[in-house]
Amino acid sequence: MTCCSMDAESVLALSATSASAGEVRLASHPLGAGLRQVDLSVPDVHCGGCILTIEKALSALAFVRKARVNLTARRVSCVYQEEIEAKATDPSEILAAITLAGYRAHLITSTALETDRIRNQLLLAIGVSGFAAANIMMLSVSVWSGADAATRDMFHWISAMIAAPALVYAGRLFFKSAWNAVKSGRTNMDVPISLAVTLSYAVSLWETVHHGEHVWFDASVSLLFFLLIGRTLDHVMREKARAAINGLVRLTPRGALLIMADGSRRYVAVEEIAVGDEISIAAGERIPLDGMIVSGKSDVDLSIVTGESSPVAVAAGSAVNSGAMNLTGSLVLRATKVARDSLLSEIIGLMEAAEGGRARYRRVADRAAALYSPAVHLLALASFLAWGLLGGDWKQAMLVAVAVLIITCPCALGLAVPVVQVVAAGELFRRGIMVKDGSALERLADADIVAFDKTGTLTMGRPRLVRADAIDGGNSAIACAMAAHSRHPLSQGLVRDIEISYPFAFDRVTEIAGGGLEAWKGADFYRLGNRAFACGTGLTPAGDSPFSEVVLSKNGVDLARFLFDDTLRPGAAEAFRQLAAAGIETLIVSGDRQAVVDNTARALGIGKALGDLAPKQKVEELQRLGAEGYRVLMVGDGINDAPALAAAQVSMAPATASDVGRQAADLIFFNDRLDAVPEAIAVARRSASLIRQNFALAIGYNVLAVPIAIAGLATPLIAAVAMSTSSIIVVTNALRLNAFGRRPGLRSEPLAGGSAEVETT
């Protein structure tokens, strides 16, 4: 029995999204002697029972030679035979076996491995430094309680032996960064940290060797412990923002079924497909590169290009883009671009360029470090020289210099930003908004214009019947009965919105790819779909109509027409009222038809609405706004919005967004209401205010404490206590954000250059 289970529907859903045999083979690497190894992520494993279940399921496959599950990394490594009895094996069965055992499994990338490795290093460093600090402090209590000389020396030596490996292991992250900065002729926050830790340990060791009464091993290790906490919080929130490109890479098919000159088919890597090659694409597969359909009919989800959720009918002669999903029929595609020039590769390139630009955003802590670090070094050096030259006691001069370094160590500054961001993220999460990148709160606080996508963002992406032109109610009932046989969004909207439920039975109902539904009752046949399919009158362009049309016909004669519009997201009107009251400008940037976009803009009172935009054009529009001095918040949901989400100063997406859209966004809101946007802005501005207050508190603490240290009135131990106190003050001030969140009326901080407020109910 497994300790985890999944129902049959979940298993089928997961099986449908599993990688193909060719993709698994391309992701594996050869071991020689006809063996290959593939590494898979299995995120649901959490105990020994899970390990045994998965390993047993894989060992049952005839071609699997070895399977090992790593519980810590939640990964499985599987070695399999490429051929058995001169027949190629199907490695996709490995994923299927894990899925049938009740666990999710998918291919992993090296980028994800690197991210996990750094995070694990930070967490281990926190554990080591925290354990060492606790034990050294217990020994220090014995010394402070009056241990005699021999016992005191023994405790000091034990403390030194505990501190040394802890400092080497936990402090290497700071030491390496500091050394690289010094080699490059510059300084950073890690330089004073490394100096303070190293010198305090060296002075303490000197005192231990010479039977000194006081040592400061506990101060050195505790300092690292506090700083590592802030560094880890910062790293985790930064790395979440890098998941979008990994998601797009996983979305890209690794290969395709190439049709050879003799008619045979061979699975090849997508990079091997040249312009003019023909490939076969089955229903349910994603199109690997841009091309022209040679044969076949199907409905294709083009949301990656237009953002519109309604499938589009395609046939021979239709052009399709990479990343689009083939829904209903088999297609033969002739490649018109190689993989590196296709639309999906272009979107990945746009996102990489946009994230590179976003990475150049100078965070508050980075700006403070540029001024703070040199000042600390100069103060410590001046104190050392002054005490040594004027007093003649170089040992005391070293103790004073170390105390200055410790008391001015940027622990409070290191916590000032991440602790506020974590508290703000918790407050927003309670309101149904998740923050993925800590710096997003700083960028969100500065936003002065909001660009919205339409489908799935301003609207719910769920068609709503707005008009029914039928001769009688019986025709509506027939249409509803036919629509019940389809999962097409317009069919579902028809069933949901027509309140006619008396039964109407057909002899048979067939769904025609790219057309609609065809039903037979006796000698009569009915059709429900687009006008060209239902009435055979040829394709009628949508023109300037903002609505989607569905036609019911009997024996080719038009019986009824149904017009659909999209449903506005709840709270949309209220959100725009609040943004306008705060002086924040708004616009729509959408890939949908201009007529449809204009219709939504009129409903919400938005003055500027741009439609028919490709992903690259959305990015160009945001760049134009940025060049004019605007700080843009982008709110979108689709794969086609991902480059714009990454290119904007800050971005949000609903939880219903595509995987790539969610990964590209900095914030995600889980409820359906759009007033999450002004609410997030309000919390972000309050967070920015608290960050400024924390910096003021940290600097004020230094103004008071540094003269005491320079005067020689603070030992390194007292300096460490003072440093810890400043950190506690900063954390306590950050927690005031929770009190702000409990106010009955949420109000934002004033906009730059104005005093407008955002209120939410």
Cα distances (Å, whole numbers) of residue 680 to 435, 573, 666, 747? 10, 17, 11, 11
Packed helices 572-581 and 594-604: angle between N→C axes, nearest 10 degrees: 70
Q: From CA 376, how far away is CA 373, in angstroms rounded?
A: 5
Residue with tokens 């687009």: 530
Residue 114's CB is within 10 A of a number of other CB atoms, namely: 12
Residues contacting 390, CB < 8 A, separation 6+: none
- The DSSP annotation for 407-457 comes to HT-THHHHHHHHHHHHHHHHHHHHTTEEE--THHHHHHHT--EEEE-IIII
Average pLDDT over residues 498-522: 77
384 pLDDT more than 70: yes
567 pLDDT more than 50: yes
Average pLDDT over residues 460-466: 77
Top pLDDT among 527 and 101 is at 527
576 pLDDT more than 80: yes
- The DSSP annotation for 703-718 comes to HHHHHHHHTT---HHH
pLDDT single digits (tens) 648-698: 889 998 877 766 677 778 888 877 788 889 989 988 888 888 888 887 887
743 pLDDT more than 90: no
527 pLDDT more than 80: yes
Average pLDDT over residues 533-553: 69
- Where b means 16+ CB within 10 Å and e means fewer, 436-455 reads bbbbbbbbbbbbbbbbbbbb
Q: Helix count (H) and strand count (E) of the chain?
A: 26, 31
3-class DSSP state for residue 666?
A: coil
Name all domains of the chain by residue range, CATH numbers in brackets: 8-108 (3.30.70.100), 113-242+362-414 (no CATH), 252-339 (2.70.150.10), 461-566 (3.40.1110.10)
- Where b means 16+ CB within 10 Å and e means fewer, 590-608 reads bbbbeebbbbbbeebebee
Beta bridge partners of residue 267, listed in sequence order: 257
Q: What percent of the chain has pLDDT over 70?
A: 74
Amino acid at 170: A
Average pLDDT over residues 42-61: 79
Could you tell me where the beta strands, DSSP code E, fall in 171-252?
Answer: none
The continuous run of DSSP H or E covering 346 comes out as helix 343-359
Beta bridge partners of residue 517, listed in sequence order: 511, 528
CB 646 within 8 A of CB 423: no
128 pLDDT more than 80: yes
CB 654 within 8 A of CB 637: yes
What average pLDDT does the structure give for the chain?
A: 76
**Among the options 453, 592, 637, 666, which is catalytic?**
453
The confidence score (pLDDT) of residue 521 equals 86
pLDDT single digits (tens) 228-284: 876 776 666 555 544 545 555 666 677 788 888 888 877 777 878 888 899 988 887
pLDDT single digits (tens) 588-624: 998 777 888 888 888 888 888 898 887 888 889 998 9
Average pLDDT over residues 91-106: 84
User: Catalytic site residue 453?
Assistant: yes
The confidence score (pLDDT) of residue 739 equals 64
Residues in the chain: 761
The confidence score (pLDDT) of residue 757 equals 37
DSSP state letter for 697? H
584 pLDDT more than 80: yes
CB 596 within 8 A of CB 700: no
The confidence score (pLDDT) of residue 174 equals 84
CB 404 within 8 A of CB 709: yes
Average pLDDT over residues 172-190: 75
61 pLDDT more than 60: yes
Least confident of 323-337, 389-403, 437-451, 680-694: 389-403
Q: What percent of the chain has pLDDT over 90?
A: 5
Global pTM reads 0.54
Average pLDDT over residues 51-73: 82
pLDDT single digits (tens) 16-40: 344 667 777 777 777 777 888 888 8
The confidence score (pLDDT) of residue 633 equals 93
Residues contacting 310, CB < 8 A, separation 6+: 463, 489, 490, 548
The continuous run of DSSP H or E covering 468 comes out as strand 459-470
Q: How would residue 334 be classed by pLDDT, with cut points 50, 70 and 90? A: very high
The confidence score (pLDDT) of residue 1 equals 38
